[in-house]
Amino acid sequence: MHSRSKHWHFIDYVLVFRTGVHDVRHIHVMHSADCQTDHALCDANLTSALNPNLREMKLRGLEVNNLQITVMKHNFQANLQAKVEDYFTIPAPEALWYHIKNGILQSSLRFFKRNRLVW
């Protein structure tokens, strides 16, 4: 009890991490219903922003097990060579790389399936 005002002092602190101090908006201590006890209810208003965990979907790889079969390997090589041969006349390196990359991807998707997700 305060000596002059005769009011009780309440400790109105809330334990938070140092990184969360800025989240405490308001703290209020209320008397208990039974006035003869020294218990009090501490009410704290906090701000909280929950950020959802967004996972990027990974691009599934290709099933390249078919390359072990000789016939499939030769067919893939022939298709890839036919697609890529036309692009070597392009003088700009960026355009050349774009066309070669797309040619490899298209021929790969033609011969191989995407890996399935395993749950």
Over the stretch 57-85, which tens digit does the pLDDT of each residue have?
777 778 788 788 888 889 888 988 888 88
Answer yes or no: are the C-beta atoms of 29 and 10 closer than 8 Å. Answer: yes
Q: Give 9-44 pLDDT, tens digit per residue.
A: 666 677 888 888 888 888 877 766 666 666 677 788
Is residue 58 classed exposed, middle or buried when 0-12, 13-18 and 19+ CB atoms within 10 A define those classes? exposed
Tell me the whole-structure pTM to 2 decimals. Answer: 0.44
DSSP for 1-64, please give it. Answer: --TTT-PPP--------GGGGGGEEEEEEEE-SSTTS--EEEEEEE---PPP-PPPPPPP-B--
Distance in angstroms (rounded) separating the CA atoms of residues 65 and 70 = 11
Q: Give 87-110 pLDDT, tens digit per residue.
A: 778 888 888 889 888 888 888 888
